[in-house]
Structures are given as structure tokens and as C-alpha cells.
Amino acid sequence: KPHPSAILYGHNSAVTCLALSQELDLVVSGSSEGSVLIHTLKLGTYVRTIIPHLPGPDGEHLCVKFVGISSNGNIVITGKLPSKNAPSGSHSVIYLYTVNGKMIKRARLEDDTGALFLDGERVVLGGLNGGLEIRDTNYINLKHKLRLKSGVLAISKDPRNQHLFVTTADGKLLILTSTAKPFVK
């Protein structure tokens, strides 16, 4: 019979996302109440909790949508924050933290994140309204930006770093490439 080899605890609400790094022996999980937990992968030992946005006076908090672990050990977190100024009542943000829990940078995103792909020194964000952004994992600086006709649902790349595969809400699989150099390196 299959059974869990470990059960990791610490979230007080639904776990919304997960990222693993065998090389760094880390498991990072995010939740709907806004916390991000770090455990070791091999033993499941608790390492630390990151709370990117402290709850406000009305109890508003970050809902974590995606987490990722870069090859240099930085942790990328995206989510939605309540906002009275946004037409939808919320806006999307991206955070970059060290594995030790120190915030490096925070940036507001123009589009709600529908997909995140992290590889090496790049993070690719796909927006539900068709935005596609490539940012570095050192300071989450914007490197490239595209506008697609439909929302992005999933992102991947080929092993040779020459093509970026993007699925969209209108049923398309887009294959993006850069002839000058690898698109995602």
C-alpha cells in the first residue's frame, strides 16, 4: 500500500503551491493565508516561515499563488494583495527572498499571474490577461516583456534552452524562440 514517507506541517490554510530543489535539499510551499514555509527535502525538517505581507488592520493578507527556488537559492513568491485602488479589488505582486528569509525586492505586477516557470537565473511569469515577462532571479528585474492575445496557463522550455513553450486560455500552444541566443538561459 502506498503511504506518505513524511508529512510536512505548518500551514493554517490550504497549500496553494509547491516548489522543490533536489540540489539545495529544499521544499518551499505557499498558502492562501499568506505564509511560505521552507522544509528540507530529504528529512522534512522545518527551516523557516516567510510572511511576505503582514495582515492589515482588516485582516487582508497575501494569497500566495506560486513559489519557485532559483539555482542560487533565492525564493520567488507571487500572489495577490487586496487593493482598494485596483478595479478588481486586488493587485498582483512578486517577491524575492534569500533562503535565509531576507527580502531582496518586491515589485507590483501588471497582470495576475497564471503561470510561473523558474530555470536557473530566469523566472518567466505568464499573466491571465496575456502578459509574458522574463525577469532575473537576482533582483527580479524585468528583462523581456511580451503581450499575447490570451491568458497564459502553463510555461515550460526545451532541454537545450532554445524554445519556450506557452499554453494559453484560447487553446493554443505557442513555441517562442530567439534566433540570436537561447531564449531562457
Assign 179 a pLDDT band (cuts: 50, 70, 90). low
Q: Is the pLDDT of residue 89 over 80?
A: no
pLDDT of residue 86: 66
The pLDDT tens digits of the residues spanning 2-20 come to: 888 888 999 999 999 999 9
Q: Are 69 and 75 within 8 A, CB to CB?
A: yes
pLDDT of residue 126: 97
> CB neighbours of 131 closer than 8 A, spacing ≥ 6?
109, 110, 111, 125, 145, 146, 147, 148, 152
